[in-house]
Structure 1
Amino acid sequence: MKVLAVASIGGHWIQLLRLMPLFKEHDVTFMSTNPSLQDTVKEYKFYHVPDSNRRDKVALMKSTLSVSWLVFKIWPRVIITTGAAPGLIAIFAGKLIGAKTIWIDSIANVDRLSMSGKMALKIADRVYTQWEHLQTEQVIYSGNIL
């Protein structure tokens, strides 16, 4: 199965790498915001995309175009992300091609789902939290990955 795994640099990327055992049987492509992260997934395809956030509209547009183009190029069956903005963009683009989409909210969000996680709730097929007390009918708790 073709899987696209997306995360920003930092904790998002570390948490995504903790899912590596799940990827062994699949054709996985990684996408992140820092080209040096390719060294951590040498045995997989890797794409660098521009980082962005809601405050920098120009960077957000560049990231949206880059991530969306790559989603259409890769055409994954599943998109999994631990955040942040590029992962959310990938989920939106993935829904356009019929991909199954999975959002895993960062373990750093102890008190509530992240803003991106709340947005992912509206479109992702599955949204996971890493905190049991944040679980709802829509938000799944299955333990943590960090």
Structure 2
Amino acid sequence: MLVPILFCLLLFAILRLIWILKHLGSGLNLSGRKVKVLAIAGSGGHTAELLRLLSALSSNYRPICYVIADTDKMSANKIQQFETDRKVDENDEGYCIVTIPRSREVAQPWLSSLWTTLVATVSSFSIVWNSNPDLLLCNGPGTCIPICFIAFLYKFLGIGHCQIIFAESICRVKSLSLSGLILYHFCDKMFVQWKELHEKYPKSMYVGRIV
């Protein structure tokens, strides 16, 4: 009796996954309403590019919950300065910054990074649940992988509705970053800034220089 039940559950899970992958991006209509944003910042250039991208969004894209690695003090300072300088209306719902354990430090052995990635993934459950975003925006840092995985899992389970947007860095001309390669088949939209990259990965969208 148990085997048929498990088989049916497995079949349902496979069909559900196929349906979600087939309809990625189909519900991407965020215009004309307030959009809660979960923005994942990396270190250095990733954060700078992300903030330039956010600066082009209207005030409808609020509140913004920023996710940074717990060891990334520089990004926290950049975000605070960005939000201080940003012109918003009196009804602005603001922003918050939350931290997540870093999935992998620079030069960290790949074997030990499996454990740190698992820790980061566990931390991601509450971040995605509490922020309940309409839009998840990321542009390449490894920190985004656990968050995107949980957001996709919630969508798979039918308890989340987040649209995952991945904007590949301007420095990626002919090949996707590791994060881009992982998310290529699972994000709702992937923006690339070079024609050569779009030709190699046709499911992406070539949008020219956006940052």
Please report the TM-score for the alignment, with normalisation by the length of structure 2.
0.63
Structure 1 residue 145 corresponds to structure 2 residue 179: no
**5+ residue gaps, structure 2:** 1-34, 84-94, 155-159
Q: Which runs of 5+ in 1 are unaligned?
A: none
> Does residue 92 of structure 2 align to residue 29 of structure 1?
no
1:141 offset after TM fit, Å? Answer: 1.3
The residue number in structure 1 matching 2:167 is 104
**CA offset at residue 138 of structure 1?**
0.5
Q: How many residues are aligned here?
A: 146
Work out which of the residue numbers 70, 74, 77 in structure 1 matches 2:127: 70
1:17 is the counterpart of 2:51: yes
Q: What RMSD in Å do the two structures reach over aligned CA positions?
A: 1.9
Relative to total residues, which structure has the larger strand share, 1 or 2?
1
Is residue 2:196 matched to residue 1:133? yes
Q: Is the 8 A contact 1:103 1:126 kept in 2?
A: yes
8 Å contact kept, 2:103–2:120: yes
Rounded to whole Å, the distance in 2 between the matches of 1:11 and 1:91 is 20
Identical-residue share of aligned pairs (%): 26
Contact in 1 for aligned 2:195/2:206 (Cα 8 Å): yes
CA distance in 2, matches of 1:132, 1:46: 34
Return structure 1 stretches of 4+ with deviation > 4 angstroms: none
SS at match of 1:79: strand
Name the structure with the higher helix share: 2
Post-superposition offset of 1:68? 2.9
For residue 2 of structure 1, report the CA deviation from its aligned partner. Answer: 0.6
Pairwise CA distance, 1:36: 4.1
Deviations 1:3-51 (A, max 9, x none): 1010211121111011123153221111112144222223421112121
- Would the aligned equivalents of 2:41 and 2:75 in 1 still touch at CA under 8 Å? no
| Secondary structure class of the residue paired with 2:115 | helix
